[in-house]
Amino acid sequence: MSATAETSRVPAGSALGSLTRPARTAARWAVRHGLPAVYLSRSARRGDPVGRLMRDRALREQPYGVYEEVRARGPLSASSLGWVTTSHAVAQEVLRSDRFGVGWDRSSAPKVIRWALEFGDDPASAGVAEPPSMLVVDPPDHTRFRRLVSRAFTPRATTAFEPAIRRTADSLLDALERRTGSVDLIEAYAAQLPVLVIAELLGVPTQRREDFLRWGAAAAATLDPGLPLRRYLAAERALRAMHGFLDEHFAQLRRDPGEDLVSSLVTLPPEEALTDRELHAVVLLLLGAGFETTVNLLGNAVVLLDRHRDQWAGLRADPAGWDGAVEEVLRLDSPVQLTGRTARSDIGIGGRTVRAGSRVTVLLGAANRDPEVFPDPARFDVTRANAREHLAFSGGIHYCVGAGLARLEGVVGLRALSERFPDLRVAGPPERRDLQTLRGFERLPVALR
């Protein structure tokens, strides 16, 4: 059974649902974050590397040393979170194999956990890592959702979007021209470009972009296990606001559909129509994934290139190199650091036997530094011949739908920035986001000239 099959017996929208909301929130937080936090902290104290990665804030700054400790234990090793891999070959096999899935069999969980998940279920605050989000459902539901969205992301559709990306980048750079002194490049450029692009592509109002950015920043934390209650409540508030916005937006498009992807999703013929919950899950994921990840690619790129001025200068001289540079940034400082899969049956892999129902944590950021595939893996080299073999966009059936769009935004956005401000420099210590799954900067002070 996949997690999708379970729903609460007390509908969240009912009168009883409203009365029980605080208790439901508490149950949801306890089972998704409170208990994992206790467990991970205990493992971290015992020296377990995955526990440390999840609980030690200092490692968010620099997780790569711990990845090497994990690598030294072998391609697939045991950890507090089940199995963990840093190996490119094993990661690729896990991601591509249909013997692994993303769904999770709740029936094997202790009764109290099953009860808390069921009682705490609330579609109005569901995050992108909760079913029926495409990210965490298996076929056939996954196939159905993926088919509906992928036509908006074909190579042809993506290329057709290039002029719009260029125009958006140029208008943001025009606004930057008027700024003096130190500028936060994340706030003024790296966050703005992706949110404007995905809003235009999905047909959601770009004027709401500051709301999306605020909501997205709070909600992104729900990808990490073990959130403190206060942060979890902020994330829930943001998710409720996003779902509320989507309700209004869907109603408006049903009255007056446009040519965009979301209009096509709300007007599907009855035999294909998505339930309200599925529709929310699909669009929330597209919107969130559309900007919460690409901002990190742009920010990480600027910091790496600032630390390697010769390569920045090389790209200025030969802009054809930007494609390779974007791949190398994705490889070396991956915006999504980890994902996971569950074995559907007993599987021999990486020299070990993974039992049915066991979880494998795939450290994408470590697989992208596997010396078996990438010689001298910690070195930043925008001309690295095989950088594109990275797994920053995952692999298999969940391979990032927006990979082509993200690459294009990276190439167009970084090239336009370097042409407008060739002397741009990091002008103060960049601040990392307090996140584990996503890796990027919260603040990036730069001098433009």
Q: What is the DSSP letter of 336?
A: B
Least Å distance between CB 50 and ligand HEM?
A: 17
CB of 220 to ligand HEM, least distance (A): 12
Q: What are phi and psi of 321, to 5 degrees?
A: -75, -5
- What distance in Å separates the CA atoms of residue 385 and residue 332, rounded to the nearest whole number? 14
The DSSP string of 178-245 is T--SEEEHIIIIITHHHHHHHHHHHT--GGGHHHHHHHHHHHGGGGSSS--HHHHHHHHHHHHHHHHH
Longest dimension (CA), the chain: 65
In angstroms, rounded to a whole number, what is the distance separating the alpha carbons of residues 331 and 373? Answer: 11
Measured from the CB of residue 410, what is the shortest distance to ligand HEM in angstroms?
7
Site for ligand HEM, residues 402 to 441, rule: CB under 6 A: 402, 405-406
Q: Which is nearer to ligand HEM, 122 or 409 (CB)?
A: 409
- The span of 264-272, 284-292, 373-381, 382-390 binding ligand HEM (CB under 6 A) equals 284-292
> Which of these ranges, 84-92, 224-232, 288-296, 365-373, lies near ligand HEM under the rule CB under 6 A?
288-296
What Cα–Cα distance (Å) separates residue 7 from each residue in 3, 90, 102, 278?
Answer: 9, 34, 18, 13
What's the residue count for the chain? 449
Identity of the residue, 34 or 404, whose beta carbon is nearer to ligand HEM in the bound complex? 404
Q: Which of 373, 401, 411, 414 binds ligand HEM (CB under 6 A)?
A: 401
Q: Please identify, using beta-carbon distances, which residue of 116 and 391 lies nearer to ligand HEM.
A: 391
Q: Please, which residue, 66 or 94, has the CB nearer to ligand HEM?
A: 94
The crossing angle, in degrees rounded to 10, of helices 294-307 and 276-292 is 10
User: DSSP labels for 234-282?
Assistant: HHHHHHHHHHHHHHHHHHHHHHS--SSHHHHHHT--TTTPPPHHHHHHH
Q: Which of residues 101-160 bind ligand HEM (CB under 6 A)?
A: 134-135, 146
Q: Compute the chain's Rg from CA coordinates.
A: 22
Q: Which of 233, 241, 400, 426 binds ligand HEM (CB under 6 A)?
A: 400
Dihedral Cα 76, 78, 84, 88, nearest 10 deg: -10
Burial 368-407 (b: 16+ CB within 10 A, else e): bbbeebbeebeebbbebeebebbbbbbbebbebbbebbbb
Q: Does 294 bind ligand HEM (CB under 6 A)?
A: yes
Residue 88 engages ligand HEM in binding (rule: CB under 6 A): no
Task: Map the footprint of ligand HEM across residues 175-234, applying CB under 6 A.
Answer: 198
Give least dist CB 394 to ligand HEM, A. 3
Compute how many residues bind ligand HEM; rule: CB under 6 A: 23
Q: 173 or 261, CB closer to ligand HEM?
A: 261
Nearest to residue 438, comparing CAs of 237, 231, 299? 299
Q: Does 28 contact ligand HEM by CB under 6 A?
A: no
**From candidates 311, 339, 368, 418, binder to ligand HEM by CB under 6 A:** 339
Which is nearer to ligand HEM, 27 or 289 (by Cβ)?
289
From 310-318, 377-385, 394-402, 418-426, give the range in contact with ligand HEM by CB under 6 A.
394-402
Contact 76, 83 (CB under 8 A): yes
CA 363 – CA 210 distance, rounded (Å): 32
Give the binding range for ligand HEM (CB under 6 A) out of 18-26, 106-114, 242-250, 386-394.
386-394
Return the residue of 290, 299, 440, 445 that touches ligand HEM, per CB under 6 A: 290
The binder of ligand HEM chosen from 131, 335, 365, 413 (CB under 6 A): 335
Which 3 state secondary structure label does DSSP give 428? coil
The distance of closest approach from Cβ of residue 339 to ligand HEM in the complex, given in angstroms and rounded to an integer, is 4
**Structural contact between residues 282 and 273, judged by C-beta atoms closer than 8 angstroms:** no
Stretch that binds ligand HEM, among 59-67, 312-320, 332-340, 382-390 (CB under 6 A): 332-340
Q: Cβ 205 to ligand HEM, closest distance in Å?
A: 17
Q: Which residues bind ligand HEM (CB under 6 A)?
A: 134-135, 146, 198, 285-286, 289-290, 293-294, 297, 335-336, 339, 392-394, 398, 400-402, 405-406
